[in-house]
Structure 1
Amino acid sequence: MTRAVAQDRYLNQEFGLIADFDGPIADVSERYYRVYHECLDQIQSDETSVRRFSKSEFWALKRARVPERTIGERSGLTPEQAQKFAALRRQLVHSQPYLKYDQLIPGAIAALERAQEAGIELTLMTMRRERELAEALSRFDVGRFFPPERRYCMGDDAVKTADTQDKPRLMARAMTELPSYETLWMVGDTEADAIAAASQDIHFIGVLSGIRDRPSLAAHKPQQIVNTLSDAIDFLLTSSLAPRS
């Protein structure tokens, strides 16, 4: 089926897509890697023989859900140093000086444009705080795809617990405020996204452009696993909306 036909069908349906920000739209790997180096710089001692992972090695560990303390120990830190390393990482990774290293996932803007042109109503759901999200939306010029009433994030002063708890709460709130779509999907890159979608019986597409690898996503039984947001939009346009005989 051609894309034009898919778009015509979309315009005759109430179709919604909830997208995570980090992973499908923003690449956070450089930020995480720079924080990794900063934490090693601050925690290592003269007696410590540190072996720094390359970016690809480090990101593979993160995507496989290897704990921060383990990454620290594998980098040559003592168990005590690794504990401090993990605590410092939690303190720095979402701080303002490092957010500037985030980059757009290639093809994300074009994918959002295709979705919007097809009549898909887009909603954003992220664990970023309001001020962090506002800066990123402006810098990457993606706020135009998500009206303020279609943005779900953590408040600047909200107390975070765990993503796998906080995101389902955001999703529950969204379900009381969003239209009752005939068809609704979510695209994300983590177990928190999958759990949030499942909590409301929403179809979930996992993307491999973020912080989890295929086995980590597959464990949560998504309807589909694709490489990028662009692939997810293609899947929705060509599969979900294809005429059924």
Structure 2
Amino acid sequence: MLRLITDFDGPIMDVSERYYQVYQFCLEKIRGKDGLVRQLSKAEFWQMKRSRIPEKQIAIVSGLDEQQAQEFAQLRRQTVHLPAYFPYDGLTPGAVEALEKVQQAGVDLAVLTMRRIVELDYAFNRFDLGRFFPENRCYRLSNDYVKTRDIDDKPLLMGRALAKLPPASDTWMVGDTEADIVAAKTHGIKVIGVLCGIRDRASLEAYNPDAIVPDLSEAVDLVLNQSRQQNQHLPISTGN
């Protein structure tokens, strides 16, 4: 059985507008009435996020001082996952078509995400994504889970998922961050980085994924093509 495990934010969900809206809110809140700031454009902001510029540095570039930047980073952490901002999320172009292609090919499909249950359910209901991921193929955080760092938490979540999933002859992971790559490599799974999320090529290359492609659609094509090539080279059984 061929299995594809995919991250959610990035490969399937575009969170750039939510993150930018939270950035704007935090900048306005921290600067005060008379504070002069330079609000980054969405393109500038997102490029900084993709190249892993720390929140404090983004705040300083935007005109906040050191103390304000610390407050900005703290407020951002408190705000970015609030339900009020989830309507800003949208589907990554081509993601639904890619998921449909996986289903039609008979691939075992699972989602592995740092979203909590309520956060994932919101997106599933809004975009009708539950049809791709039955309950026993959804691996996410409990609503009361205390996060540390994704790069530490995600390998743990991957371990719990693999312990519950039935065996597969070939398993691939698709994700857009270093946490996805580390989680896959920790458990000996092949991993594809996609460039449609919150990390740029240089950030992904630093963690040596098996491949880097533009989006989930091309990741699916790569996995299906590799599977076909492997099947073509299997020895033909002649029976007894």
TM-score above 0.5: yes
Distance (whole Å) between structure 2 residues aligned to residue 241 and residue 87 of structure 1: 48
Displacement of 1:244 after TM fit?
A: 3.8
Of 99, 109, 112, the match for 2:96: 109
CA-atom RMSD in angstroms: 1.0
| Runs of 5+ consecutive residues of structure 2 not aligned to the other structure | 235-240
Distance (whole Å) between structure 1 residues aligned to residue 59 and residue 228 of structure 2: 47
1:120-131 paired onto structure 2 within 5 Å:
120-131=107-118
When normalised by structure 1's length, the TM-score is 0.93
Distance (whole Å) between structure 2 residues aligned to residue 238 and residue 170 of structure 1: 28
Of 20, 36, 52, the match for 1:65: 52
Residue 188 of structure 2 aligns to which amino acid in structure 1? D
Q: Deviations over 1:44-80 (max 9, x none)?
A: 0344320011101100000000000000000000000
Would you say 1:25 and 2:12 are equivalent positions? yes
Partner of 1:86: 73
Partner of 1:164: 151
When normalised by structure 2's length, the TM-score is 0.94
For the residue of structure 2 that corresponds to 1:144, the secondary structure is: coil
1:144-155 paired onto structure 2 within 5 Å:
144-155=131-142
Of 185, 189, 195, the match for 1:198: 185
For the residue of structure 2 that corresponds to 1:165, the secondary structure is: helix
Would you say 1:34 and 2:21 are equivalent positions? yes
| Runs of 5+ consecutive residues of structure 1 not aligned to the other structure | 1-13
Displacement of 1:20 after TM fit?
A: 0.3
Would you say 1:241 and 2:189 are equivalent positions? no
- Percent of residue pairs bearing the same amino acid type: 54
Displacement of 1:240 after TM fit?
A: 3.6
For the residue of structure 2 that corresponds to 1:94, the secondary structure is: coil
Aligned residues: 232
